[in-house]
Amino acid sequence: MALAGLLLAAGCAGPPRGEVTVLAAASLAEAFAGLGATLSFAGSQQIVAQVEAGAPVDVVATADVESMARLVRAGLVDEPVEFARNRLAIAVEPGNPRRIAGLGDLARDGLRVVLADPSVPAGRYAREVLDRAGVRVRPVSLELDVKAVARTVAGGEADAGIVYATDVGPPARVDIPDAANVVASYPVAVVRSAANRPAARAFVDRLLGPAGRQALSEHGFVLP
């Protein structure tokens, strides 16, 4: 019986197996859900802090190049690969009752706008597009990750927020024209201290392969 088990295990030696723990940017939550790994999501800067602090993760995926570069400089991860791109959009209540047409409307009096804190990429990008458009927004809150912005608008506590285009579906989304938008680049890398490096690499391959590409584009990401 034990021998049979052993043979069975040996027979499965094709793709590397075992638990893979992936720490990914909050905006990736839905797209990563079906990719078969233990998933944990946080703001990208939080990811950096966690990996620097020695969190036991095998793969990291951030929503910006800067965060990943910090991990590369610290020698904590292998060479990163860009796997997806994203743009910003304005999240509004479904049906857009406040008739928000673009960035300029976010400066309107009496409009409750939430942004992500500038310490996370979504907040930094939001500030960038607003500055470039010359729009001065007075947010009611600077949320600690981008999902909190989407949640606050969806829950009706705020009228609008700036999120990734992938965070909200069309009825609750106002697009920002490409000329005024930024392109967020998402890199993924295997963590040097990964407990299971073959399985970690297999996850990255899956993400870059057909399964990952399909999941990403289904959720609105642009493929590089």
Q: How far is the CB of 112 from another protein (least distance, A)?
A: 7
Q: In this complex, which beta carbon is closest to another protein, that of residue 158 or of residue 189?
A: 158
Residues 188, 82: Cα–Cα separation, whole Å: 6
| Residue 69 backbone dihedrals phi, psi, to 5 degrees | -60, -35
Q: Does 157 bind another protein (CB under 8 A)?
A: yes
Looking at 143, 172, 173, 208, which residue binds another protein (CB under 8 A)?
143
Q: In this complex, which beta carbon is closest to another protein, that of residue 102 or of residue 118?
A: 118
Pairing state between β 88-92 and 173-175: antiparallel
Q: Does 46 bind another protein (CB under 8 A)?
A: yes
Q: Does 114 bind another protein (CB under 8 A)?
A: yes
Q: Does 120 bind another protein (CB under 8 A)?
A: yes
Q: Does 96 bind another protein (CB under 8 A)?
A: no
Pairing state between β 113-116 and 160-164: parallel
Q: Tell me the C-alpha to C-alpha distance, in Å, between residue 185 and each of 22, 27, 65, 92, 111.
A: 18, 12, 6, 24, 30
Q: Does 141 bind another protein (CB under 8 A)?
A: yes
- Show the tokens assigned to 69: 């570069």
Q: How far is the CB of 177 from another protein (least distance, A)?
A: 28
Among the listed residues 9, 37, 31, the one whose alpha carbon sits nearest the alpha carbon of residue 190: 37
Residues that bind another protein (CB under 8 A): 43, 45-46, 49, 112, 114, 117-120, 139-144, 152, 155-158
